[in-house]
Amino acid sequence: MNTNTLTTVWSPRLLSILRIVAALIFMVHGTQKILGFPEGFSPAMFSLPWIAGVLELFGGALLVLGLFVRPVAFVLSGLMAVAYWMAHAPKSVFPVLNGGDAAILYCFVFLYLVAAGGGVWSLDNAMRKSH
């Protein structure tokens, strides 16, 4: 496979795969908080953890579908930045010790999606092509 094929054919597809996989894993944080699955907890309704769970669950679902990718990814990137600085950073300077490495990674993956969009396998792309 030459570099041109990798860039033109596979790069947009791998962007979609990154979006889908990251969103599916991200959604599980929401299912824990909102649905109690798997082995979740039930934060008080309208508390910060509950609001985060709603955003994780429904924002993650929109990203899996590739619908409204840029605005949803922007909100979720901000959510992860706030989660890191509020919940993780006060525990330690080092992400590996404060448990915030996933929050940092999600923050920047979602920030990348703001710029890159959802890739070729997204409802946003399908709707854009139909017009």
pLDDT in tens, 46-91: 999 999 999 999 999 999 999 999 999 999 999 999 999 999 999 9
Question: Taking all residues of the chain, what is their mean pLDDT, rounded to a whole number?
Answer: 95
Domain of residue 16 covers: 3-121
Residue 129 lies in a domain: no
Residues 124, 19 contacting (CB under 8 angstroms): no
Residue 127 lies in a domain: no
How many domains, in total, are found in the chain?
1
Residue 112 lies in a domain: yes
Rg (CA), the chain: 16
* pTM attached to this predicted model: 0.93
Residue 30 lies in a domain: yes
Residue 131 lies in a domain: no
Residues 67, 19 contacting (CB under 8 angstroms): no
